[in-house]
Amino acid sequence: MLLSDKYRILISISGNDAKSFLQNIVTTDINELSDKDNISCQYSLLLSPQGKILYDFFILLDKNFNIFNYIFNAEDIIDDNINNKNELNSQYYLACHPNYVEDIYNKLKIYKIKSSVDIKIIKNLRMLHIICNNNIICNKNFNKFDKFDDKFENNQNNISNYIVKYTDPRFLEFQSSSQKQLFFSLNITSELVIVELDYFTKLFSNYRKYEMNMIDDLMLKIKMPQFGHDFFPNEYFPFDFSLENIGAISFDKGCYIGQEVITRTKFRNKIRQKLYHLYPLTIDDILINRGDKVMINIDSNGLTKNIGKVVGIYPEQKLLTLLKIEDIQDYISDIKSDIIVDVCEKKYILRLQ
């Protein structure tokens, strides 16, 4: 099992209008959530009115009240502002990036207006992202919430003390053949597990950092940028990262914030950028930053052209870049081999697949 260091904090959405409230602001169709395991979680976005990504989160349907029951029964972990069980009687939770959970909470409070919705940050639970080999089973044990699992300490192959587990919807929704081929060839599954804060702290203190980085490397290979790591609020449009191909956007639901821009871009075929990998020719000390320009030679005199920018920086100086489709097509029409480009005067190989 591999454990990512990209954890999430939960926000509960409760009240009579909880479902319609979410439906009117997020990019996915809340009506498609059900208590079936593979569709009880959605990867969704909150957009600006201009259609750019403000935040991402996982929307969790807690149909059997596993999260709810644990929160209420563990009185010591309930937020000070939560006074009774009814306030937590919610089927919906947003799993948010820890650096932006307060911002998301405040944004939701603004959108609430007169809706019958109660919004709370659940401070002492965490959602973890794990990658499992299909031959390894993550076991459940509801009786050991207060103990660190000795099996994990000695053999880092399972997490037994989780409250509820979800199948990662991003990996279920692959519509890119290259993504599907790579992911399924690895014979792995991606899962999201909710754990109590003390257990989370012990997991992180005992886990090896280089193994956490292996998930980053996997996300790079399948061209799946990570919010808070590769991109940040109000920088990019969903189509820049092909997020529609992993189920993050519904084109059949009604209006939501930013929907007009998304629909117009989709149906006018105005997608102009695409993600590509860059691999260094040599490993050196040249510092590459997010946003650095990707340059390509356009003639024998050394004239160069800006064809895009760096999105993500990964182990061994590998890069995830967002390049202009039109510019790339100009240079690959008659070329079957890899293309050499420059980032900060460092040579990289542009992989076309």
pLDDT in tens, 40-88: 899 999 999 999 999 999 999 987 788 888 877 755 444 445 555 555 5
Query: Tokens standing for 329?
Result: 């097509």
- Select from 45, 56, 46 the least CA-distant residue to 97: 56
166 in the same domain as 78: yes
132 in the same domain as 64: yes
By the 8 A CB rule, do 2 and 131 touch?
yes
108 Cα distance to chain centroid: 19
* 257 belongs to a structural domain: no
* 251 belongs to a structural domain: no
pLDDT value at residue 4 = 87
Structure confidence by residue, pLDDT tens digits, 103-139: 999 999 999 988 999 999 999 899 999 887 654 434 3
* 266 belongs to a structural domain: no
Over its C-alpha atoms, the chain yields an Rg (Å, rounded) of 22
By the 8 A CB rule, do 339 and 352 touch?
yes
In degrees, rounded to 5, the angle at the alpha carbon of residue 170 between the alpha carbons of residues 142 and 309 is 130
pLDDT at 151 over 50: no
Q: Domain containing 312 — which CATH number?
A: 2.40.30.110
Structure confidence by residue, pLDDT tens digits, 5-26: 899 999 999 989 999 999 999 9
Strand-pair partners of 133: 188
pLDDT at 304 over 60: yes
Q: Which amino acid is at 74?
A: A
Specify the long-range contacts of residues 293-296, CB closer than 8 Å, at least 24 apart.
293/343, 294/321, 294/323, 294/341, 294/342, 294/343, 294/348, 295/341, 295/342, 295/343, 296/327, 296/331, 296/339, 296/341, 296/342
**Residue that is last in its domain, among 246, 280, 305:** 246
- Select from 259, 193, 208 the least CA-distant residue to 49: 259
* 337 belongs to a structural domain: yes
Please, which pLDDT band fits residue 149 given cuts at 50, 70 and 90? very low
pLDDT value at residue 220 = 84
How far apart (Å, rounded) are the C-alpha atoms in residues 323 and 70?
Answer: 46
* 254 belongs to a structural domain: no
Q: Which residues of 287-325 are buried (b: 16+ CB within 10 A; e: fewer)?
A: ebebebbbbbeeeeeeeeeebbbbbbbbeebbbbbbbbe
How far apart (Å, rounded) are the C-alpha atoms in residues 29 and 43?
Answer: 11
pLDDT value at residue 117 = 93
79 in the same domain as 212: yes
| pLDDT, mean of residues 262-266 | 91
180 in the same domain as 319: no
Q: Domain containing 49 — which CATH number?
A: 3.30.70.1400
| Residue 321, domain extent | 272-351
* 109 belongs to a structural domain: yes
Total domain count, the chain: 2
How far apart (Å, rounded) are the C-alpha atoms in residues 309 and 275?
Answer: 10
- Average per-residue pLDDT in the chain? 82
**Residue that is last in its domain, among 246, 263, 285:** 246
Element at 123 (helix H, strand E)? strand 118-133
- Select from 100, 188, 103 the least CA-distant residue to 138: 188
pLDDT value at residue 175 = 58
